[in-house]
Chains A and B, each alone.
Chain A
Amino acid sequence: MTREIIVDREQMRMIKELMEVSFVLLETALYLNTHPNDERALRLHNNTSSQYAQLKEMYQARYGPLTNQGMSRYPWSYINDPWPWDMDFNNV
């Protein structure tokens, strides 16, 4: 029993960009946890954080909430495909 998932190329491109920016945020955060006084790293983190918020808003406006705290059009689209493990990153 397998579900048939239709994946939107543009959605995959956007989520991949979101994943890249969120990876930068994780790296700066882990570094800052042990180096809280590094101002340059903090600037990079803050700039990336605002970039992430913008990208996330754009993605969610188009494809529905990334978390169950987000707003949705009717009907509730948080449950829509694709779930992360069904995303196809070949050819993206």
Chain B
Amino acid sequence: MWIYEKKLQYPVRVDTTNPRLAAMIIEQFGGADGELSAGIRYLTQRWSMPNNRAIATLNDIGTEELAHWEIIGTLVYKLTKDATIDQVKGTPFEAHYVNHGKGLYTHDASGNPWIAAYYNVKGDPIADLHEDMAAEEKARATYEWLINISDDPGVTDTLRFLREREIVHFQRFGEALRIVQEQLETKKYY
């Protein structure tokens, strides 16, 4: 089960209202390689992992991804909450606004709603852990493209933190993969 703690994982700072940037950052809220996809992927893959170290890794990284999803939502919220109608008009956030107002919704930067087909569970730990490692690298790349277009120092700082987490997770999934591979090797000698 989960218990909510009333705190963010990272102190999110936003320097200025910026609906344009919010409309791009929403990619990581409801996009293919976003934080929601990551969290659901790892938490759902737990049941078919063959050892406790891999299960714990998926469990805790999956949980951390939900905290990242909350950070992304907070960035979008802070970038848009004080925006006037004139500040929204003519930006890519206008399309979001006419459907959702200033509410948040899980879609990507192009407006496509989040779908379960963004991730898979193969029931095979080697295949699933490879998917997880690829997912971390794709999310890292997305953060790099977002950092390139960010003109808000506070937002950039948070995006850098999230980018670094993708690298740490890639490392941990690599270790889990090695542990599973060693386990499968040993079984051959029985």
Contact = CB atoms under 8 A, between A and B. Distances in A.
A39 to B, nearest CB: 17
A85 B78 contact: yes
Contacts of B15: 90
Given A16-B11, A89-B11, A90-B13, A33 B60 contact: yes
B6 A84 contact: yes
Most chain-A Cβ atoms within 10 A of its Cβ — which of B8, B11, B53, B175? B11
Interface stretch (B28-36, B69-77, B135-143): B69-77
B74 A84 contact: yes
B86 interface: no
A25 B175 CA distance: 19
A2 interface: yes
Contacts of A15: 7
Contact of B60 (A23, A26, A65, A68): A26
Contacts of B12: 85, 87, 89
B11 A69 contact: no
By DSSP majority rule, is chain B's interface helix, strand, loop, or mixed? helix
Nearest to A27: B168
Contacts of A69: 3
Contacts of B57: 30, 33-34
A19 interface: yes
A26 B81 CA distance: 31
B56 interface: yes
Contacts of B10: 19, 23
A33 B53 contact: yes
Interface string A4-35: 00000000000110110011001101110111
A92 B4 contact: no
A69 B9 CA distance: 19
B172 A33 contact: yes
A36 to B, nearest CB: 7
B179 interface: yes
Nearest to A12: B11
Contacts of A31: 172
Given A30-B61, A66-B5, A19 B179 contact: no
A88 B175 CA distance: 37
Interface of A: 2, 15-16, 18-19, 22-23, 26-27, 29-31, 33-36, 65-69, 78, 83-85, 87, 89-90, 92
Interface of B: 3-13, 15, 53, 56-57, 60-61, 64, 70, 73-74, 77-78, 81-82, 154, 168, 172, 175-176, 179
Per CB-CB distance, the 7 closest pairs between chain A and chain B, nearest first, are A89-B11, A34-B175, A33-B56, A85-B74, A84-B8, A33-B57, A66-B5
